Amino acid sequence: MADYLTHDVILDFADETPEDSTLNVLRFQARNTTLVIARSPVGKHQTLDEALTAQLDQLRNKTQALSITPAQITHLGHQQQVEGREMAVQFMTGDKPNFQLQVACLIPGQHRMLVLNYSKQGPLSDGDITHWRAIKQTLRFS
């Protein structure tokens, strides 16, 4: 298995701290799946559930034919040390259905949310779901 480190460079912005809203898009060609890793700020007194609800409300306002299962509490990483919220999302892009499994968590020690989104045009296979579970289980924060 290949480890993937999302931060490739160190930049010095002196006294200015930009907001990190970066995305990483990883494509698994053989599976025809995509993993998107997204980061976004969370208010100082905002909970994971509040931040996630706000993001999902924005998504609902932008996307038609959207179906989202209720978020379930899950735990991520080798030792299941990070609590997250997981849901399944389905929507249409033109006439093609998109299926996603999504998990969100707070980045330890930061006021930022990390969202992992595993998607495919068309239904996810049993092998895809096994792959998704392995990704969640091997998550580590640097």
72-84, pLDDT tens digit by residue?
Answer: 999 998 888 899 9
Q: Determine the pLDDT at residue 59.
A: 85
Query: Could you tell me if residue 63 is inside a domain?
Result: yes
Contacts of 40 (CB under 8 A, 6+ apart): 21, 51, 55, 112, 113, 115
**The one-letter amino acid at 137:** Q
Domain harbouring 114, CATH code: 3.40.1000.10
- Return the structure tokens found at 126: 């049993």
CB 113 within 8 A of CB 48: yes
Query: Could you tell me if residue 94 is inside a domain?
Result: yes
14-62, pLDDT tens digit by residue?
Answer: 888 787 778 899 999 999 999 999 999 999 899 999 999 998 988 888 8
Query: Could you tell me if residue 90 is inside a domain?
Result: yes
Distance CA 61, CA 92 (A): 14
Range of the domain at 64: 23-138
pTM (predicted TM-score): 0.86
Query: Could you tell me if residue 93 is inside a domain?
Result: yes
Among the listed residues 127, 129, 121, 123, the one whose alpha carbon sits nearest the alpha carbon of residue 103: 129
Query: Could you tell me if residue 14 is inside a domain?
Result: no
Number of domains in the chain: 1
Contacts of 20 (CB under 8 A, 6+ apart): 39, 41, 112
* Mean pLDDT across 108-118: 92
Residue 107 per-residue DSSP state? P
- Which band of pLDDT confidence, cut at 50, 70 and 90, is reported for residue 121? very high
Query: Could you tell me if residue 15 is inside a domain?
Result: no
Query: Could you tell me if residue 11 is inside a domain?
Result: no
Res 4 pLDDT > 60: no
Q: Determine the pLDDT at residue 80.
A: 83
